[in-house]
Amino acid sequence: MFETLSDRLASVFTSLRGKGRLSEEDINSTAREIRLALLEADVALPVVRAFIARVKERARGAEVSKALNPAQQVIKIVNEELVEILGGETREIRYAKTPPTVIMLAGLQGAGKTTLAGKLAKWLSQQRNTPLLVAADLQRPNAVTQLQVVGERAGVPVYAPEPGNGVGDPVSVARDSIEQAKRQNHNVVIIDTAGRLGVDEEMMRQAADIRDAVSPDEILFVVDAMIGQDAVNTAEAFLEGVGYDAVALTKLDGDARGGAALSIRHVTGRPIMFAATGEKLEDFDLFHPDRMASRILDMGDVLTLIEQAQRTFDEDEAERMAGKFTSGEQLTLEDFLEQMQMVRRLGPIGNLLGMMPGMGQMRDQVANIDDKDLDRITAIIRSMTPDERADPKMLNGSRRARIAKGSGTEVSDVSGLVTRFFEAQKALKAMQSGGGIPGMPGMPGIPGMGGGRKKAAKAEKKKKGRQRSGNPAKAKQDEAARAAERERRKEEGAKPDALPPGLGGGGNPKLPPGLGGGAGMPDLSGLKFPKD
């Protein structure tokens, strides 16, 4: 969603790099470009004015003028101000002291309240809660059925005593759901209320009646992040008519400019609590202002990637695989398949790469990544026998043809996979033996990072001195040459000139005596040194 804004800000900061000091003109032109970038991203004008004023004020201060790298300091200021506009700190749910905690969802029709209710219920279940979904939207056709389907997918029960489609009293349904939750030991109740195509008095009155009947601990205003400036107007109308504690943004994976996300918190004073970034129930999490600011500035979101991996990967399986790699065991195609499946569970590869710093410059390449390639690789490996997975060297032409036919691919695809697998085996073996990662410079003295065993062996070889040649005739010649050299030195004795120049040998009049100057080092023949 923030691609356009990220690209504009990246170009602004590129023009700053390389400048030792920032003049007043540099600050003004940078602020002007940032203002245009924010306005193009559909950020509300009052928010843009406040943001630019704060950035210019800090850019003219001592933190930039005395900085070693003023451009980086300006980027740091912009990042901090973005975090502040987005809310500053992560807002979490305030649970009731006495269960159940009641969460009421409100918003316009089409904003995604029902789907978000299912996502929130699944997310709460993963936090070891026992949520109950309540179908209080009795006006929209099939709203009750939709919530039941979403609840079934999320593995969360749904309280739906009325059929909906204009039948039933939503206020009594919401009130009765609290007692139902207490009887069935649900510690969280999520009430899905009706929406309208526009803000009207009837909708506001119904939402206010439900609020008064259940006294919710949290009222979440669900807003579609793709509707632009109108999101701010709707947020203000709901704040005045019903009131709410926090905002939940949906459809953050869309191609809109995303100004609503940067505007709502500043205009309404209510923080953004949740963000939905896709259609799947798993595409939902707390909204972290600092991580969103990092994404906008193309600094990545590694923390979210780590958290996704922790939730997705099986800890015992990961430890088993890590132990196998470090112990020096041979990598098999079965291990290769397990690793791919673990990565696949994290989500689309393009989304994962998008969380890495600097990937905004490779957006086109990342967008061309097809997750179906992993599915084809999985099909090829699963078309092999257990023996073939354990030892791919046995894959001759006929076996590869059989595997290609069984997986619906070409023989060249099977051969390409096997070739890449053997390369991965070699790379892993090099890392295990201390050769480091192929293509990367080694780190001296650290085993496994390219500078360990090989350099140690080289140093040991040097320490031992010259090795005897494997050719007997050559070895005899070398030994004779060394004997002749020893005889020559013995005949010359310990003359000063026998020392290397600069350490007393030859003599250099420009250097002081004792360091190669004059006649060389002083006569030390009268001193008796130990043999060693």
| Segment 303-307 mean pLDDT | 64
238-272 tens-digit pLDDT: 888 888 999 998 887 765 566 766 788 888 888 88
Question: Among 155-164, 354-363, 377-386, which is the least confidently predicted range?
Answer: 354-363
| Segment 469-494 mean pLDDT | 69
In this structure, is residue 338 part of a structural domain? Answer: yes
Q: What pTM, to 2 d.p., does this model score?
A: 0.62
More confident residue, 463 or 70: 70
Quote the CA–CA distance of 233 and 133 in Å, as a whole number.
29
Is 327 in the same domain as 289?
A: no
In this structure, is residue 451 part of a structural domain? Answer: no
Task: Write the CA distances from 117 to 43, 103, 155, 528, integer angstroms.
Answer: 27, 10, 12, 92
More confident residue, 373 or 276: 276
9-29 tens-digit pLDDT: 777 777 776 666 777 888 888
Is 219 in the same domain as 269?
A: yes
Reported as a pLDDT band with limits 50, 70 and 90, residue 519 is very low
- Report the relative pairing of strands 272-276 and 188-192 from DSSP bridges: unpaired
Residue 468 pLDDT greater than 60, yes or no? no
Reported as a pLDDT band with limits 50, 70 and 90, residue 360 is low
pLDDT averaged over every residue in the chain: 76
Is 292 in the same domain as 228?
A: yes
Percent residues over pLDDT 70 in the chain: 67
Q: Residue 345 forms beta bridges with which residues? A: none
Residue 445 pLDDT greater than 50, yes or no? no
Is residue 112 within 8 Å of residue 147, measured between CB atoms? no
Is 250 in the same domain as 399?
A: no
In this structure, is residue 501 part of a structural domain? Answer: no
Distance, CA of 228 to chain centre: 27
CB atoms within 10 A of CB 152: 12
Query: 372-382 and 333-345 are packed helices; what angle lies between their axes, rounded to 10 degrees?
Result: 150
Is 276 in the same domain as 383?
A: no
Is 107 in the same domain as 79?
A: no
Q: Environment class of residue 436 by beta-carbon count within 10 Å: exposed (0-12), middle (13-18) or buried (19+)? A: buried
Task: Determine the pLDDT at residue 46.
Answer: 84
Is residue 54 within 8 Å of residue 34, measured between CB atoms? no
In this structure, is residue 94 part of a structural domain? Answer: no
In this structure, is residue 138 part of a structural domain? Answer: yes
In this structure, is residue 91 part of a structural domain? Answer: no
In sequence order, the 6+-apart residues with CB closer than 8 A to the CB of 308 are 346, 347
Reported as a pLDDT band with limits 50, 70 and 90, residue 503 is very low
Q: Show which of 386, 407, 432 is a domain's final residue.
A: 432
Task: Determine the pLDDT at residue 368.
Answer: 63
The owner of tokens 């609840």 is 151
Residue 167 pLDDT greater than 70, yes or no? yes
363-418 tens-digit pLDDT: 556 566 666 777 888 899 989 998 888 888 888 989 999 999 998 989 998 998 88
Task: Determine the pLDDT at residue 521.
Answer: 44
> Whole domain around residue 76: which residue ranges?
3-85
Overall size of the chain counted in residues: 532
Q: How many domains does the chain have?
A: 3
Q: Show which of 265, 299, 333 is a domain's final residue.
A: 299
Quote the CA–CA distance of 119 and 277 in Å, as a whole number.
11
| Segment 296-318 mean pLDDT | 64
Task: Determine the pLDDT at residue 321.
Answer: 63
Q: Show which of 53, 85, 117 is a domain's final residue.
A: 85
Q: State the CATH number of the domain containing residue 191.
A: 3.40.50.300
Is 65 in the same domain as 204?
A: no
Reported as a pLDDT band with limits 50, 70 and 90, residue 464 is very low
Residue 361 pLDDT greater than 80, yes or no? no
Question: Which of 80-94, 427-441, 445-459 has the largest mean confidence?
Answer: 80-94
62-100 tens-digit pLDDT: 666 666 677 777 888 888 888 888 888 888 999 999 999
Q: State the CATH number of the domain containing residue 30.
A: 1.20.120.140
Task: Name the residue type at position 180.
Answer: Q
Task: Determine the pLDDT at residue 455.
Answer: 47
In sequence order, the 6+-apart residues with CB closer than 8 A to the CB of 62 are none
Residue 466 pLDDT greater than 80, yes or no? no
| Segment 455-468 mean pLDDT | 49
Is 58 in the same domain as 128?
A: no
Residue 465 pLDDT greater than 90, yes or no? no
Is 260 in the same domain as 127?
A: yes
More confident residue, 148 or 87: 148
Question: Among 54-68, 81-95, 274-288, which is the least confidently predicted range?
Answer: 54-68
CB atoms within 10 A of CB 514: 12
Is 71 in the same domain as 137?
A: no
Is 28 in the same domain as 147?
A: no
In this structure, is residue 242 part of a structural domain? Answer: yes
In this structure, is residue 20 part of a structural domain? Answer: yes
CB atoms within 10 A of CB 161: 13
Is 198 in the same domain as 341?
A: no
